[in-house]
Every structure is written in structure tokens, then in C-alpha cells.
Amino acid sequence: MDQTTPYYPTYRREIRAGLRDIAPVAVAALPIGLLFGAVAAAKGLSPLEVALMSAFVYAGGAQFAVIEAWAYPVPLAALTFATLLINARHVLMGASLGPKMKVTGIQRFIAFFFLTDEAWALSERRALERPVTGAYWLAMALVLWGNWTLSTTFGAMLGSFMGDPARIGADFAFTALFIGLVAGFGRSRVTLVTVGVSAAVAALVHHFIGAPWHVASGALAGIAAAYLAAPREARP
């Protein structure tokens, strides 16, 4: 690494950096994509429907949540609202990353279709040292998008041969995945209060009212609890 010369981004170098950064993420996402496809198939979705959802929605967390609450007839309003709630974090992520990217005009509206937690985190890290170019972003985005769409579709095709996922405990993989994701938000007092209140309200609503309303009510209760539990003058 030559530290003395200034950094001149070239397409080739930017693409290579993007591929290098996203590779481990793509490897980790592969089995999760297969799992999503298999559980979606068990809920009654066809491989084509799984492919369309992954390609157009392209948001793992929301897709997992929606599939868990999936039923026939499809509860359209509740599923859309759950998707909006889960993906609301994108607004803050986009507001933070947008000004740091060397992408302008209509290209920004294409680039930000591919906003994910992973690509965002890697780009924010890169933005500390150098601007995030469109070539870097698109190299990461296309690999992760293709990886997700193909692995979930393949999982759905395999899933229809696997039979009942409960037999091998695969139905619980979701729950375990979500517990792992929640643990990633840490053990601060506010987070623990949020998790406790959400879990209790969601379980009660599910028992007395039924799916899928436990998602919205549990989430809103946890958000309200976080608001009340946070100190009044907390600094960011």
C-alpha cells in the first residue's frame, strides 16, 4: 500500500474493493437465504413467488417477519404495515449515507433500491476514509441482491422436497435467527425493557386476538416502552 500518493478511484479498483468487502457477507447470507426459501415454501409460497419477493422487496428482516405471519387469505394490510415498521430504519440509514456517496441525480434512486443493513454498514465504514463511489456500491449491491434472490429461490425449490420443516427443527431456525439478531442490539437497559415489553404484549395479543396483529401491537408497545425508559435528556 502506497500511503503517499492520493487516492484516485478507478472503476476497476472500486469494483474490486466492493467485491472484497461483500464476499464474507454473501457467504454468511447463503444458508439464511436457503432457509428463508424453505420456510416460505412450507407456508405455501411457490418458488416463483419467493423469487419475486426477494428480487422486489429485497429486505431479509421484513421478509422473515412477513413469512412467519403469512396465512391464507393473505392479511395484506397487516403484512404491509409490518414491512413498513421493520424497514423504517432505512430512513435514518439513507439520511446518513446519502450525502457521503459520490452518486447524483437519478442514479441515487437506483442505488438506494439496494440499501441493506450490510451494504450500509460497509459503506459507512469506507466513508470514514474515502468517498463511497457508485462502482463500489453497485459491485456490492449486485452480488448481495443476486445471492439473496437465487439462494431463496433455490431454498424454495428444495423446500418442497424436504416436507415438514418441524421434523428436523427447521421451523425453529427462524426463532433462533431472530433471537440472534436481537442480541446484536446489545444489552442496554432500554433494549432489555423494549424486548421484555414487546415479547409480553405480542404473546398476549397472539393468544387473545390472534395473528398477525401481535406483530404491530407488540412492536408499538416496545417502542413506547423505549421512549418512556430512555432518560429525558439522553445525548446521542
Partner 1 sequence: MSLDTTTLLAILAMALVTYLTRIAGLFVADRLVLTGRAKAAFDAIPPAVLVSVIAPTALTTGWAEAIAAAITALVAFRLPLLGTIAVGVVSVVILRNLI
Of residues 174-203, which lie at the interface with partner 1 (CB under 8 A)? Answer: 174-183, 185, 187, 190-191, 194-195, 198-203
Q: Is 209 in the site for partner 1 (CB under 8 A)?
A: no
DSSP code string of 182-209: HHTT---HHHHHHHHHHHHHHHHHHHHT
For partner 1, the closer CB: 11 or 185? 185
Q: Which of residues 124-163 bind partner 1 (CB under 8 A)?
A: none
Cell 430512555 sits at which residue? 230
Q: Is 105 in the site for partner 1 (CB under 8 A)?
A: no
Q: Is 6 in the site for partner 1 (CB under 8 A)?
A: no
Q: Is 22 in the site for partner 1 (CB under 8 A)?
A: no
Q: Which of 62, 119, 140, 143 binds partner 1 (CB under 8 A)?
A: 62
Are 48 and 27 spatial neighbours (Cβ–Cβ below 8 Å)? no
Q: Is 17 in the site for partner 1 (CB under 8 A)?
A: no
For partner 1, the closer CB: 155 or 218? 218
Using the contact rule CB under 8 A, the part of the chain among 5-13, 134-142, 143-151, 220-228 near partner 1 is 220-228
DSSP code string of 21-53: HHHHHHHHHHHHHHHHHHHHHHTT--HHHHHHH
Give the other-Cβ count within 10 Å of 169's Cβ.
9
DSSP conformation class of 132? E
Binding track over 64-103 against partner 1, x by CB under 8 A = xxx-xx---xx-x--xx-xxxxxxxxxxxxxxxxxx----
Are 202 and 218 spatial neighbours (Cβ–Cβ below 8 Å)? yes
Using the contact rule CB under 8 A, the part of the chain among 8-16, 61-69, 124-132, 133-141 near partner 1 is 61-69
Q: Which of 64, 69, 31 is nearest to 50 (CA)?
A: 64
Q: Is 106 in the site for partner 1 (CB under 8 A)?
A: no
Q: Please tell me the count of residues contacting partner 1 according to CB under 8 A.
A: 104
In whole angstroms, give the CA distance from residue 155 to residue 160.
Answer: 9
